Amino acid sequence: MALQSNDLYGEFDMTTRELEELDISENSSNTHCYIVDNNGKMYVSFIMSKKKRVKTICKTFIRKSRSQQKYVLSLEFRKENLKGESTVSKGDSIIIPIKENQELSMFWKLISFFQKFNHLVDTGDFSDKYQAITGEGVKEFYSRYEASNKLTQLLDLISSSDLSEDQLKSVIFNQRKKHLYTFYLLLKDSDKKGESIHPRYREKNEIKQQGSEAIWHHFLKRNKWILGLNTELRFIFDLHSEHKLGEENSRGAGSSKTDYLGTSYFTTIIELKTEKTKIFKNSKGNSSRANTWSFSSDFIEAYSQILAQNDDIQKNRKKRIEFSDGTALNRDIIKTLDPKCVLIIGTRNNEFPHIDTRETNFKTETFERIRRDIKKIDIITYDELFERAYHIVNPTPLPSNWFTIPIEEFIEKYLE
């Protein structure tokens, strides 16, 4: 039964008031219950959190059960603007996440409040079936079981929960949305407060290597779906890190090393630079031809490097390529014939955004010419990679000016 708003009822603001002020009583006809405060004012909604432009509310309806003597509690969660208007869903499914600390705290306060009236309101056998686990309990799960046992435990939980395929997809997509959020912060190298995110990511994940390349290497390795579903039309089943592809000299030098070797039926060489690596020189240069712009030395070096890697892997067809787990590439099954190459570099929205100026037009056209003329290498920028990853998990397209939207506003509208 859909819950209807009623002007007779107010909104109880949990952010400023205490639930101890409230009581639950039956109406005179014994058809439903109402929530009332010490002054006799009735409420149907609870404000769980408030931001600058939006609030999270929980609407309640307590009606008499036809099959039981107790009353049944219905809850409905909504995001509304401060005028009381429901916010528009960004997709076909309407999901109201209860994930922020304040909202979670208020949710459990509500549950506790209604359980105090279980003589009147049926809250089921909630406390018998469900148990809150402390952080120590979660740590015990991680320390007690090996990775394979953890997976078994989770699979058993999923099986016993009888989740549908769509529900399982929802779990996966929610996880990907979390990683997309991290992707955005790394791309902008800033959080909502304007503080750099790279040092915190490095510290949290214990990344020893210096430089932003190591951070991107770690992030993309953990999120293979971003590259596996985004590079041309070939699906990449797995990613293997930093492999030497050529023959070394007596001092162990002379072999090119790739950032990633993607494998499916064929191999894909993936070379990473950073989101801040310049694609073009700052000035056009006197030697540049009309309607063109000169590429930066970093871009030319990266381009030459990935071509050398491609050449090495073909010249050394018998060389053993070992993976980090000690196994080796089976070249009889996974072919290394003229591998496809992917170069991830720079941020076009920083260097040549989609605005109509003479400089940006020159750079855009020059960049597109080289990408279309080179069949062996896919060149993609980090913001383009983010756009593709975004559309994997979100049905609503990004606006053309998404990169210039203030970080806090973009997160609130498109990532939360």
Whole-angstrom Cα distance, residue 180 to residue 178?
A: 5
Strand positions, DSSP E, 7-103: 10-13, 22-26, 32-37, 42-50, 54-64, 71-81
Q: Does residue 7 carry a pLDDT above 50?
A: no
Contacts for 376 with CB less than 8 Å, ≥ 6 apart: 307, 310, 338, 340, 341
Average pLDDT value for the chain: 76
Name the pLDDT band for 184 (thresholds 50, 70, 90).
very high
Tokens 């790394």 appear where?
186
pTM value > 0.85: no
Q: How far is the C-alpha of 340 from the C-alpha of 374, rounded, in Å?
A: 11
- Look up residue 81 and give its two tokens: 């603007």
385, 344 Cβ separation under 8 angstroms: yes
Count of residues making up the chain: 416
Taking Cα atoms as reference points, which of 175, 184, 225 lies closest to residue 403? 184
Query: What is the pLDDT at residue 281?
Result: 92
Residue 309 pLDDT: 80
Assigned token pair, 214: 């190591």
Cβ atoms 64, 71 nearer than 8 A: yes
Q: Quick one: pLDDT band at residue 279, thresholds 50, 70, 90?
A: very high
Residue 75, sorted as left (phi over 0), alpha (psi -120 to 50) or beta, turns out to be beta
Q: Among residues 171, 206, 204, 170, which one has the least CA distance to residue 185? A: 204
Q: What is the DSSP letter of 388?
A: H
Task: Give the pLDDT band of residue 308 (cuts 50, 70, 90).
Answer: confident
Answer yes or no: is pLDDT of 275 > 90. Answer: yes
What is the pLDDT at residue 52?
79
* The predicted structure's pLDDT at residue 4: 40
Q: What are the tens digits of pLDDT across the range 102-143?
A: 787 888 888 888 888 888 887 765 555 445 555 455 455 555
Q: Residue 291, CB half-sphere, CA atoms under 13 Å: how many? A: 3
The single-letter DSSP state of residue 351 is: H
Tell me the sheet residues that pair with 181.
none
Residue 416: both structure tokens together:
């939360």
pLDDT band per the 50, 70, 90 thresholds, residue 238: very low
Pairwise CA distance, residues 240 & 269, whole Å: 10
How do 10-13 and 42-50 pair as beta strands? parallel
Band (401; pLDDT cuts 50, 70, 90): very high
- With cut-offs at 50, 70 and 90, classify the pLDDT of residue 370: very high
- Partners of 62 in the β-ladder: 33, 73
Q: What residues contact residue 298 under an 8 Å CB cut-off, 6+ apart?
A: 273, 277, 278
Q: Which of 66-70, 254-258, 387-391 has the lowest mean pLDDT?
A: 254-258
Long-range pairs of 293-302 with CB within 8 A, sequence gap ≥ 24? 293/359, 293/362, 293/363, 293/366, 295/366, 295/370, 298/273, 299/345, 299/346, 302/271, 302/273, 302/277, 302/343, 302/345
* Burial of 270 (C-beta count, 10 Å sphere; 0-12/13-18/19+): buried
Consecutive H or E run containing 271: strand 266-272
Give the torsion sign (CA, 289, 292, 298, 303).
Answer: negative
